[in-house]
Structure 1
Amino acid sequence: MKPRAVVFAYHNVGVRCLQVLLARGVDVALVVTHEDNPSENIWFGSVASVAAEHGIDVVTPADPRSPELRAAVSAARPDFIFSFYYRHMLPLDLLAIAARGAYNMHGSLLPKYRGRVPTNWAVLNGESETGATLHEMAAKPDAGAIIAQTPVPILPDDTAAQVFDKVTVAAEQTLWRVLPALLAGEAPHLPNDLSHGSYYGGRKPEDGRIDWSQSAQQVYNLIRAVAPPYPGAFTDLNGHRFIVARARLAVPGALRSDLPPGLHVSDNAVFAICGDGRAINIHELRHQHDGGETAVSPAKFAQLIQSHS
């Protein structure tokens, strides 16, 4: 008899990991996902669409603690519960319904970067490596025993979106590799020592405000960590808001360092000076206004800031 599972999933990791379960012959009896938020930039795949293509029942409860959801999960009689980038913590009494355990895929190398948006935090903090970890679910977030993990590199100019693409593949590889042993009851359950890890909370768009007094590396890490399709690193200048969508650290000494920290335009190029005197070349600058965002040329940028100076 095929093992049965209830899957809580969202985003690209949810799509790929659900497909791994199906490819490995797991009977997915129910998929629990989120309604897309109309105010959110939906740049990722749809778990609900994948489930519909395979004829799997889908529910989108607002509250994972609701009696209705608990009844639906109980009725599915799952051997396993899996959570793949589902955005809510699942209560222990719900997890206990799974006869053979409940497991979550997290986008970091646990115990580092427990919590929310781990890929963005890893880029922001200048890490050179992250990954994906399948772990047992527990009362605390990302705190249960580690089943398997796969590392990926973070290159010096990678944006969080580029790293997230790698983490998605790492999640798929991790689940594909360990799932046969997990289904056979032979997968390792390794300690997840939280004393050697870290926990990070969610991020808000306002957290993308650039502090030009920081070092160029710190500013560049922020730009990479929240670059589109995330909301972007921004700065306000002369009544205008500008989003730094793409940038690169300048070679030391390549640009003037006697200018104050902040955005500047010279020789038909926009650049920024940071608190340590190092510069960042701005390759794409966007102007945020009532109608949305518009990419601006160096000449247009100069015109905008001079008109309010």
Structure 2
Amino acid sequence: MLAHDPDWSLDLIVTLELAAASRHSDFVDLADAASQSGAELLRTLNSNNPETLRAIASANVDFIFVIGWSQICREDFMALKPDRIIGYHPAALPRLRGRAALPWTILLQEPITAGSLMWLGQGVDDGDLLDQQFFHVAPDETAETLYEKHQSALAQMLERSLAKIAIGDIARQPQDPRYATYAAKRTREDGLIDWNDSANAIDRLIRAVGKPYPGAFTFNKDDRFTIWRSSVLPSDRVHHAIAGQVVERSEDHFSVMTGGGLLRVHDWETASGKAPKQHAVLGGTGS
């Protein structure tokens, strides 16, 4: 958007070193974007290190946009362009400040969320709002579909916000701290399925941590088993089995007893490439 707006130029793109790309499941290499827009490309491991700060200062830009960057911008970074650093947060701020906002949106069953453009402040996602784009969260929303909705929201907000900033119309709406909530960091291991949970809760976890994230997982003995897509079966399907036990299977799916109802698994992958056998019991830690 910046590269194509006639009132703006994109002079520098700062992105992650390729050697560190595996740290982020949604990493995208921006080399092509830099080449197409004529921007200089700088790869770094830390946006707060002196070399990176000098490069940004030397670019002599009017505004800095921090989008899709998981590191906190420290004091020296913030001093580069005071009150002119814009960030994006994938939540309806001041709700869900912090980490892993997309998975938490699904896990908390948020019916409505938003993308938020904000002026970076001194705290965590607490800066004045520049713009927000609200949208509904579907009952069967996945991390992948929610990610796409945020991409669309960001594009729409940038289109209208860039035009306004270019003519000096700069919005700054303070956040109301009375409505603030905070989302904790989530790790790969938080995707471990507890089959004592209900089928609805497990399906929600699978949707929340699916692609582009590492996925929800269980174990078939010592074989790590990642589940990408599932559905909850009607409550009139009665099977007597323990939580985690495979009660039926076909070539393209299998069903597992949970602590509340049956979960049908449609898309999965395993370390061994083998699907679980009928009556196998999933769970444990693989050790």
Identity of aligned residues (%): 28
Match 2:3 to one of 19, 22, 30:
22
Q: Which residue of 2 aligns with 1:124?
A: 107
User: Equivalent of 2:254, from 246, 258, 270?
Assistant: 270
Q: Which residue of 1 aligns with 2:276?
A: 301
- 5+ residue gaps, structure 2: 282-287
Q: Whole-Å Cα distance in 1 between the matches of residues 58 and 9 of structure 2?
A: 14
**Aligned residue-pair number:** 277
Q: Distance in 1 between matches of 2:225 and 2:50?
A: 46
Q: In structure 1, what is the equivalent of residue 285 of structure 2? A: none
Aligned match of 1:204: 187
Give the Å deviation of 1:257: 4.3
What's the RMSD between the two structures over aligned residues? Answer: 2.3
CA distance in 2 between counterparts of 1:43 and 1:96 reads 29
Q: Over residues 77-114 of structure 1, what are the superposed CA-to-partner deviations in whole Å (9 max), with x where a residue is unaligned? A: 22111111112111233223226611101111111111
After TM superposition, the structure 1 stretch with the greater mean CA deviation from structure 2, 173-182 or 193-202, is: 193-202
Please give the alpha-carbon distance, in whole angstroms, between the structure 2 residues aligned to 1:38 and 1:74.
25
Matched, 1:161 2:149: no
1:24 partner amino acid: D
Report the Cα offset of residue 265 of structure 1: 3.3
Alignment of 1:16-55 (within 5 A): 20-25=1-6, 26-36=8-18, 37=20, 39=22, 45-55=28-38
Given that 2:91 and 2:102 are in contact with CA atoms closer than 8 Å, whether structure 1 keeps it comes out as yes
* Secondary structure, counterpart of 1:150 in structure 2: strand
Output aligned runs, 1:1-309, within 5 Å: 20-25=1-6, 26-36=8-18, 37=20, 39=22, 45-98=28-81, 101-253=84-236, 255-266=237-248, 268=250, 269-275=253-259, 277-289=260-272, 294=273, 296=274, 300-302=275-277, 305=280
Contact kept in structure 2, 1:216 and 1:280, CA below 8 Å: yes
* Contact 1:160–1:227 under 8 Å retained in 2: yes
For the 8 Å contact 2:25–2:213, the answer to whether it is kept is: no
- CA pair 304-34 structure 1, distance change in 2 beyond 3 A: farther
The change in CA–CA distance for 1:233 and 1:99 in structure 2 (over 3 A counts) is closer
What is the TM-score when the length of structure 1 is the normalising length?
0.82
Give the drift of 1:304.
Answer: 10
CA distance in 2, matches of 1:184, 1:118: 32
Deviates more, 1:264-273 or 1:85-94: 264-273
Q: Structure 1 residue 249: deviation in Å?
A: 1.3
Cα offsets for 1:226-262 (capped at 9, x unmatched): 1233211111233322222210111221x22432211
1:15-60 C-alpha deviation (Å, 9 max, x unpaired): xxxxx11222312221111123354576664323201222211111
Q: Post-superposition shift, 1:267?
A: 5.4
SS state at 1:167 partner: helix
* 1:283 to partner: Cα distance: 0.9
Q: Which amino acid aligns with 1:208?
A: G
Deviation for aligned residue 1:189:
1.0
Instruction: Give the superposition deviation at 1:116.
Output: 1.8
Equivalent pair of 2:25/2:214 in contact (CA under 8 Å): no
CA–CA separation in structure 2 for the residues paired with 1:165 and 1:222: 18
> What is the rounded CA distance, in whole Å, between the counterparts of 1:187 and 1:150 in structure 2?
17
